[in-house]
Structures are given as structure tokens and as C-alpha cells.
Amino acid sequence: MLTVNIHDAKTQLSKLVEQAAQGEAFIIAKAGKPMVKVIPLEQAEAGTACRLGFMAGEFSVPDDFDQMGSGEIESLFAGRKS
């Protein structure tokens, strides 16, 4: 496995990251002491990504949803107790 000192890693970061993304992990060392290992992320499995609308058809929203509790809210703003 390739070991790169931190200065060289900074100057060659784009190249090193591209290599890591292709499966060639590497180690970044400081003063000869290994500090971190850079490895590629695993690809997400198909169908596991979050998607909009995944609950479509599972519940219904009342037609007056945007007016629910409006009387109580109005009373609270007016300083009246419901």
C-alpha cells in the first residue's frame, strides 16, 4: 500500500483521491508515522437511496388541514382562553 507524507498528499491530493476512488487505498504519514488511511467509499446498493413520495397512498390529509385549530389559535392570539 502506498504511503505518502502529508506535504506530498497536499500537493497531489486530486490525483491521490482519484486513485483511491478506483480502489487504490493509501496512507498519509506525518514525519514517517502513519496517521490516516484513505479508502474508497462503497457504492450504495440500488434501491436504498431516499426518495420523495415513498409514502404516497399510505395516508390521507384532511381537506381542512391548513385550517385545523384556527379557532383556538385565534383565541390564543386575542388573549382569550378556549
Residue 40: which of 54, 56, 51, 25 has the closest Cα? 25
Which grid cell sits at 6?
502529508
- Structural domains of the chain in order of their starting residue, each with its CATH number: 2-38 (3.40.1620.10)
Which grid cell sits at 21?
476512488
**Predicted structure pTM score:** 0.51
Band (82; pLDDT cuts 50, 70, 90): low
Angstrom CA distances, 76 to 64, 68, 73, stand at 20, 14, 5
Give per-residue pLDDT as tens, 33-77.
999 999 998 865 655 667 788 888 898 888 888 888 888 889 889
